Chains A and B, each alone.
Chain A
């Protein structure tokens, strides 16, 4: 039996990975169309008024925007598959450089925020569901709604006021103190890793201190959502037929809750996790702005303000690819924990 089960798991995974290709193509096409439905070409929008019409036409031709839309589309798609996202208009830098230089900061922030969300959201959700309708549950629900409803920048500002300005416990912005940033040699563009590679523990702790407030801000936003999803799923599984059946066989209540209810409540949660990656990245843009965090998000805002279509298109493409990849990973994880998915 086990051979058939693992065989069907393999088939499922293969199909799922193959489906990834058309999924990516569709999303790239949508990004391309969205970027082109806006009137005017990218050059005129970015530099219009600053150059003469002749200069603009020259730049347009140089960048290839005078060619047919299909040629441009083909170039865009093939470019992505060869990891060429084009050059930014305002500072003529390869878009991939935004990813490599600023990606580390965003990765650090989102990973830490995700960790916060899991560590806070999952246990609180399980507790709220287990002890539903108690005052404890009620206060957790209020917490969930507040963190979800509070705008990221508002919560970020509150944290800055309280912990940086007021109590003075933690720094309020940037990835590390300026001197520390200048002294640590950049190798991976992930500051914390660089600090460890350099063997500079004080720089590392400096980085961790700077990370706490932005990670809490973004993580708490997500934790409220996590908590609510897990709570409602747990309440449903605790009411389910198989939980009652387990009780009828005299399984101790603690084991019923852990083996039958918690685990099953995690399945829909994992499914939704894929969607939360998009929220995580959207939140990262705002958090980076609030905390002056030099990641992809704050770069995106800078290029948006300057109407640099190429840079914006590149960053959006990256975000879209991350979301699609995350959903692929989630589906794979789901197939491993839930045998029914494989069919």
Chain B
């Protein structure tokens, strides 16, 4: 196995709120190898986007970051603002969810590109910058004649391709794609997925692909990490996880997908937990159909199950299991009032 391009260890991100810290990302660990695409899935509000931003050090005011993000033997969590700013662009890239508002309406596309190139390669001649930008745009299907146009002169799909071109013009080794197709229609979505697949094939770019579309994960990713309440509860190769999901949450999530043969909609009862006062022990136990006595008492360990890694007491480890821990957890019905 090749060395990982990015190693994340016990990453935590929390936001200070009036009621205490909200732990959006709570101890996340994963590796990403060159040319690998890791899908990150989970419900809204589970911390997917925060994790993506946290890795790049792009968190809003008032957010705190802790743990390790190792890139080229450096811990980005401890890097200075200046250091990480230099890495963003040539080393680390980000593709956003909403392409319509991500380009500065007052600047031409050409200005966006030239500014980006100049920030990292100050000696680059203007002609060369233009040439390189037009090449990347052409690869994304944007004709060179539109190089000097303004953002509002493009459709949403074109703007997303421009955003991708902007993120890639400096050939970063690692890119976070934060729901890059959510705001787009399915045809454009297929196009964007194709572009990202080419990217990996041609340049060995590693991708952290954040999405809540399991179909895209099956199609575009090598591995998948399932996130729940700020933690990765299961990760492994896409085929294995989808064929043999080991965590009850993954199982429920996969049952919730819809296809043409779906007659009724399966959903997971309850809502994602409060990140300020998360449930004790395993965060999923209040909604888990297989909850046991041990689940609310102890935090689950990270356990390898075949090619997967799972955080669930169903898979042990037995030596840590307290007496009677495997008894089924009896709990009151979750009522509407409790949820409120």
Q: Do A and B bind each other?
A: yes
Q: Which residues of A contact B (CB under 8 A)?
A: 1-2, 5, 240-242, 244-253, 255, 259-260, 263-264, 267, 337-340, 343
B-chain residues with CB within 8 Å of residue A255 when the two chains form the complex? 115, 119
B-chain residues with CB within 8 Å of residue A2 when the two chains form the complex? 148
Stretch of B100-108, B199-207, B220-228, B328-336 lying at the A interface: B100-108
Q: Which residues of B contact A (CB under 8 A)?
A: 56, 58, 81, 85-90, 93-94, 96, 98, 101-107, 115-116, 119-120, 145-150, 152-153, 163, 166-167, 170
B145 near A1 with CB under 8 A, answer yes
CA distance A155 to B146 in the complex (A): 54
22 residue pairs from A and B, CB less than 8 Å apart = A1-B146, A1-B147, A1-B148, A5-B149, A241-B101, A245-B102, A245-B166, A247-B88, A248-B58, A248-B94, A248-B96, A249-B88, A249-B93, A249-B170, A250-B89, A250-B120, A252-B119, A259-B107, A264-B104, A267-B106, A338-B105, A343-B152
B-chain residues with CB within 8 Å of residue A260 when the two chains form the complex? 104, 107
Those 5 A-B pairs whose CB atoms lie nearest each other, nearest first: A250-B89, A250-B88, A241-B101, A248-B94, A245-B102
A-chain residues with CB within 8 Å of residue B115 when the two chains form the complex? 246, 251, 255, 259
B96 near A250 with CB under 8 A, answer no
B-chain residues with CB within 8 Å of residue A338 when the two chains form the complex? 105-106
Main secondary structure of the interface of A (DSSP, over half): helix
A-chain residues with CB within 8 Å of residue B166 when the two chains form the complex? 245, 249
A-chain residues with CB within 8 Å of residue B167 when the two chains form the complex? 248-249
Most chain A beta-carbon neighbours within 10 Å: one of B90, B103, B107: B107
A246 near B88 with CB under 8 A, answer no
B204 to chain A, nearest CB (A): 20
B87 near A5 with CB under 8 A, answer no
B-chain residues with CB within 8 Å of residue A240 when the two chains form the complex? 101
B-chain residues with CB within 8 Å of residue A248 when the two chains form the complex? 56, 58, 88, 93-94, 96, 167
CA distance A260 to B104 in the complex (A): 7
Contact of A250 among B86, B98, B106 (CB under 8 A): B86
Question: Quick one: given A245-B163, A267-B106, A339-B152, are A251 and B101 in contact (CB under 8 Å)?
Answer: no
CA distance A247 to B153 in the complex (A): 23
B63 to chain A, nearest CB (A): 13
B104 near A250 with CB under 8 A, answer no
Given contacts A1-B149, A240-B101, A242-B105, 12 further A-B contacts (CB under 8 A): A1-B145, A1-B153, A242-B101, A245-B94, A246-B104, A249-B89, A249-B119, A250-B89, A253-B81, A338-B105, A339-B106, A343-B152
A-chain residues with CB within 8 Å of residue B94 when the two chains form the complex? 245, 248
CA distance A245 to B115 in the complex (A): 13
CA distance A246 to B106 in the complex (A): 13
B-chain residues with CB within 8 Å of residue A259 when the two chains form the complex? 104, 107, 115
B-chain residues with CB within 8 Å of residue A343 when the two chains form the complex? 152
Q: Which residue of A lies closest to B169 (CB)?
A: A249
Question: Quick one: given A253-B85, A255-B119, are A5 and B150 in contact (CB under 8 Å)?
Answer: yes
B85 near A250 with CB under 8 A, answer yes
A-chain residues with CB within 8 Å of residue B153 when the two chains form the complex? 1
Contact of B105 among A252, A253, A340 (CB under 8 A): A340
B-chain residues with CB within 8 Å of residue A1 when the two chains form the complex? 145-149, 153
A236 to chain B, nearest CB (A): 12
Question: Quick one: given A1-B148, A5-B150, A241-B96, are A247 and B106 in contact (CB under 8 Å)?
Answer: no
A334 to chain B, nearest CB (A): 11
Most chain B beta-carbon neighbours within 10 Å: one of A251, A253, A255: A251
CA distance A241 to B149 in the complex (A): 20
A-chain residues with CB within 8 Å of residue B105 when the two chains form the complex? 242, 264, 338-340
A336 to chain B, nearest CB (A): 11
CA distance A240 to B101 in the complex (A): 8
A242 near B119 with CB under 8 A, answer no
Q: Which residue of A lies closest to B56 (CB)?
A: A248
Q: Which residue of A lies closest to B109 (CB)?
A: A1
B58 near A242 with CB under 8 A, answer no
A-chain residues with CB within 8 Å of residue B104 when the two chains form the complex? 242, 246, 259-260, 264
CA distance A242 to B105 in the complex (A): 9
Q: Which residue of A lies closest to B90 (CB)?
A: A250
CA distance A259 to B116 in the complex (A): 12
